[in-house]
Amino acid sequence: EVQLVESGGGLVQAGGSLRLSCAASGITFGYYAIGWFRQAPGKEREGVSCISTSDGSTYYADSVKGRFTISGDNAKNTVYLQMSSLKPEDTADYYCAQRFYSCSDYLLRAPDSFDDWGQGTQVTVSS
């Protein structure tokens, strides 16, 4: 059984930083991609970033490029999302999800292509 558990959300002022973690079990890192998605109230879920654990390739939404960094620790089966220069518009519930093998810019825009999801962690950025 695949389980994904997010942590690290919270309340932060604009311009601040947070690091989210996604701990995965039931999958073998190196064969899966992990994505971060977010959903703000009244809005659709959108892809933020993803990483292919096979080769470390990373992908980002334009809205977070240069501010967010995704990384993976295969030994810990954990993916991190370092978020810096946070803006109020980054406020949302953040979810991690997994899909087999790889990610891409196209797949980041297709949440339905990811198979298993965590329960989410809330990020609130105050102005």
* pLDDT digit string (tens) for the chain, length 127 residues: 999 999 999 999 999 999 999 999 988 777 899 999 999 999 999 999 999 988 899 999 999 999 999 999 988 999 999 999 999 999 999 999 999 989 999 999 999 999 999 999 999 999 9
Parallel, antiparallel, or unpaired: how do β-strands 10-13 and 121-126 relate? parallel
Number of residues assigned to the chain: 127
- pLDDT at position 107: 94
Burial class (CB in 10 A: 0-12, 13-18, 19+), 123: buried
- pLDDT at position 5: 97
Show the CA angle centred on residue 76, arms to residues 70 and 79, nearest 5°: 15
- pLDDT at position 35: 97
Q: How many helices (DSSP H) and strands (DSSP E) are in the chain?
A: 1, 11
CA distance 90 to 62: 13
- pLDDT at position 26: 87
- pLDDT at position 101: 85
Contact between residue 23 and residue 15 where contact means Cβ atoms under 8 Å apart:
no
